[in-house]
Amino acid sequence: MKAAPPQTATDLAAAWDLPMRTILSAPGALDALPGVVAELLPAGELGLLHDGTPKALGVSDLLTTVRDRLAVRPVRTVTAAAGPHGVVLDEATVRAAVDGSRGVTGLVSVGSGTVSDLGKAVAAELHLPLVAVQTAASVNGYADPLSVLVRNGAKRTLPTTWPRALVIDHDVVGQAPKTLTRSGVGDAVAAWVAPADWYLANALGLDQGWDEDSIVPVVRAAQPLVDLDPAEPAALAALLDILTIGGLAIGHTGSTAGLSGVEHLISHLLDMAAMAAGRGHDLHGAQVGVATVVSCAMWEIALQEIDLGSLEPVALVPPGDLEERVLASWVGLDPTGRVGAECWSSVQRKFDTWAANGAAVRTFFDDWPRHEAILRRLAHPPEKPATALANWGASCTFSALTPAVDADLARWALRSLPFMRDRFTLTDLLLLAGRWDDALIDRVLDRAAGAGGGL
């Protein structure tokens, strides 16, 4: 990685000229909320968006405190609709929140990642300014203009809008359930492997957004996850900084790809399987943390045991039964075929792009030693995320998730990695090489287990 001086989230927002310049992250930051709202949201009725889950500020109720501090303005409460799996941001949930917010002049969202994503989606739909009050250190998605939404049964990351301001009161976040904080650690450790998938896609001509300068601050900020004792107040502050800087980096590049590779896709697959089966699943970041250990193991095997540089570009072709394999991956989740059709459209687009980029592929393999050196720098050993997760008491294995993910489901998720979306990752290259099979999946899981993760 390039050397660079330490930078705060506010410094980076200014340096990258991002639309969100107001980032208040400190104990007692909620005291500044009335002034922030007065400055950034126009006069008129405010929409207060939340999910109905009680949240504490000291011995007080957080939502009551927020309403009291906004009492100089008319406030309309908009509660996100929750189903059996909590708030799921499908088409109906987003539409209900949009309809409930019509006529307000600005939005204040109060909640963790799902509420934040919903607030950004509603604000984008209604062209409203948004102030986001973050209540947990659970994901990096608070500080970017994207939302993870469910479309036709599949999870998709879609452009929405920037909050005008992000308010992070450490006293509020410190009272959030520890499971949310550990989820944030899981989301943050992806910085130690996701950039490798992003670089690979760019080097092969399937993406055009590679920006190492956006990755450097995130990777550097992640080191305290290993170094600090989570019981220290400085550790929570460091985690919040990591997540905020990560979100800003995503917003700066306009894509989650720099911090969302195979490990995030595994989490999305587990979510989709759980929803289809009518059961719960663990928090997104918790699943990402486990999957990061697996993804690091996958990259280590690819770079050390599989001679990627010797692959012949002309032999790298999709399997002849690609469409059948994609559709078969999803029929157990959705017999109607809706999810399969949605995923096939994305996968077909991905491999059509691959077929059209023969020149870039040949150039990549001709210059393999240079690319290999970069990829080895970007993909860290699986022991590093496993150590950070263990340091914070977060899950390191699929079986330690709540509810536990059994070996069959974990293997299905790994097997299905190339068959969900159009973003190119290492598993797509391995599929094209005819190497992404059960034997290699078992080898990856064994290596992850050796680092303290895996099944």
* CATH number, residue 438: 1.20.1090.10
Q: Give yes or no: residues 392 and 267 share one domain.
A: yes
Give pLDDT, residue 85.
67
Tell me if 224 is assigned to some domain: no
Residue 73 in contact with residue 45, Cβ under 8 Å? yes
In total, the chain counts a number of residues equal to 455
Query: What's the farthest any 2 CA atoms get from each other in the chain?
Result: 68
Give pLDDT, residue 226.
95
- In order of 129, 171, 404, the CA distances from 260 in angstroms are 27, 29, 23
Give pLDDT, residue 275.
86
Q: Give yes or no: residues 163 and 189 share one domain.
A: no
Tell me if 226 is assigned to some domain: no
* Prior bond of 224 cis (ω within 30°): no
Domain of residue 157, residue span:
9-176
Return d(Cα 161, Cα 332) in angstroms, integer.
Answer: 35
Residue 123 in contact with residue 132, Cβ under 8 Å? no
Give pLDDT, residue 156.
83
Q: Give yes or no: residues 148 and 79 share one domain.
A: yes
Q: Give yes or no: residues 148 and 291 share one domain.
A: no
Return d(Cα 85, Cα 317) in angstroms, integer.
Answer: 39
Mind listing the pLDDT tens digit for each residue in 308-352?
999 999 999 999 999 999 999 999 888 899 999 999 999 999 999
Return d(Cα 144, Cα 438) in angstroms, integer.
Answer: 37
Give pLDDT, residue 453.
98
Give pLDDT, residue 153.
79
Give pLDDT, residue 6.
47
Tell me if 249 is assigned to some domain: no
What mean pLDDT is reported for the chain? Answer: 94
Give pLDDT, residue 444.
98
Q: Give yes or no: residues 263 and 412 share one domain.
A: yes
Domains contained in the chain, number: 2
3-state secondary structure of 299: helix
In the chain, which residues have pLDDT < 50? 1-6
Tell me if 231 is assigned to some domain: no
Tell me if 225 is assigned to some domain: no
Q: Give yes or no: residues 73 and 148 share one domain.
A: yes
3-state secondary structure of 128: coil
Return d(Cα 333, Cα 276) in angstroms, integer.
Answer: 5
Give pLDDT, residue 154.
77
Q: Give yes or no: residues 268 and 413 share one domain.
A: yes
Q: Give yes or no: residues 202 and 132 share one domain.
A: no
Q: Give yes or no: residues 171 and 261 share one domain.
A: no
DSSP states of 218-285: HHHHHTHHHHS-TTSHHHHHHHHHHHHHHHHHHHHHTSSGGG-SHHHHHHHHHHHHHHHHT-----HH
DSSP states of 47-96: EEEE-S---EETTEEHHHHHHHHTTTS-EEEEEPP-BTTB----HHHHHH
Q: Give yes or no: residues 134 and 283 share one domain.
A: no
Return all residues near 234 (Cβ < 8 A) that are at least 6 apart: 224, 228
Return d(Cα 419, Cα 366) in angstroms, integer.
Answer: 28
Q: Which of 130, 159, 176 is the last residue of a domain?
A: 176
Return d(Cα 145, Cα 137) in angstroms, integer.
Answer: 18
Residue 378 in contact with residue 202, Cβ under 8 Å? no
200: left (phi over 0), alpha (psi -120 to 50) or beta: alpha
Beta pairing partners, 24 = 167
Residue 106 in contact with residue 47, Cβ under 8 Å? yes
3-state secondary structure of 449: helix
Tell me if 394 is assigned to some domain: yes
Terminal Cα distance for the chain, rounded: 31
Q: From 299, 295, 293, 268, select the one nearest 400 (Cα to Cα).
A: 293
